[in-house]
Amino acid sequence: MVAASTKPAELRITWDPLPEDFELDEKPVENPGQPLLAGALREPLELNGWIRPEMLIASSFGLCATMNEKLVIKAPDWLYVAQVKQPRQTRKAYTPNLEGEVPAVVMEFLSDEDGKEYSSKQTFPPGKWFFYEQILKVPTYVIFAPEGGLLEVYHLTNGRYELEQPNLECRHWLESMGLFLGTWRGKKEERDGYWLRWWDVNGQLLPWAVEKVAAVTQEAEQERQRAERLAEILRSQGIDPDTV
């Protein structure tokens, strides 16, 4: 058991391993669009070779801590851990400090209006905001409203989350990932609306697979058109392009 420094007298946080026979509750996804949003964040990272074996990137995945001897599990819609101690293909859940670093980024996609993503409730079970800010101390907390495209990025500053203002392109620099995060509106798969997208340090959008395919197809078509124009020029000069 790895113990964290004690908070106020009534709050004691420890990082205890889950029992081998522990079964996580299987809860339905609140919004069918959430898996698409999460997958759209991971896909370009994979395509660009950004993901490494020691990382943990997951969606709707349990983060664990023990609060006053009571197990607390929160499952953010998306999370990124830079370094885990034992990379594994499958995990039931993840306990920061015990199994590796604290997540550098957690994201919540708003699906209702009850405000649970902003809850600072300190009693058991604690609210999400309090859990990420005061228990896990996640450096970056992202809240995204898919319906309206509102993106809020909070950074842990002096022990509290502070809202960051976006840059002129309405993007946020995530130092821990070396990437910009912003919103984009369009269609992917069966969903048409706002998405979260990544841009590199030079401001280049990290494409999805379908966009990469479209770019290659477009380049091939442009090359074909150039070849046809050249052939027409040669024929106009009495030259057979097939002999050149």
Read off the pTM: 0.85
Q: What is the signed CA dihedral for 111, 113, 118, 121, rounded to 10 degrees?
A: -110
- The per-residue pLDDT for range 119-129, each reduced to its tens digit, is 999 999 999 99
When pLDDT is averaged across residues 83-91 and rounded to a whole number, the result is 86
Q: What is the pLDDT confidence band of residue 226, given thresholds at 50, 70 and 90?
A: confident
Residues with Cβ within 8 Å of residue 61, at least 6 apart in sequence: 75, 76, 79, 91, 93, 94
CA distance 231 to 221: 15
Structure confidence at residue 8 as a pLDDT band (50, 70, 90): very low
Residues 132-144: tens digit of each pLDDT: 999 999 999 999 9
**pLDDT of 109 over the 70 cut:** yes
User: Residue 151 to residues 78, 142, 146, 197, 242: CA-CA distances in angstroms?
Assistant: 14, 7, 9, 11, 56
pLDDT given for residue 171 in this prediction: 98
pLDDT at 22: 81
List of residues 6+ apart from 33 with CB closer than 8 A: 109, 146, 191, 193
Structure token digits, residue 122:
């300190």
CA dihedral 138, 24, 93, 125 (to 10 degrees): 20
Name which of 34-48, 60-74, 230-244 the model is least confident about.
230-244
Please name the residue that has the structure tokens 């079970």: 125
228-238 confidence digits (pLDDT tens): 676 676 567 77
Token pair 């809860």 is found at: 27
Q: What is the pLDDT of residue 5?
A: 47
Q: Are 13 and 7 in contact (CB under 8 A)?
A: yes
Query: Domains in the chain, please, with CATH?
Result: 2-207 (3.90.1570), 208-244 (no CATH)
Contact by Cβ (8 Å): 76, 63: yes
Q: Which amino acid is located at 92 in the chain?
A: K
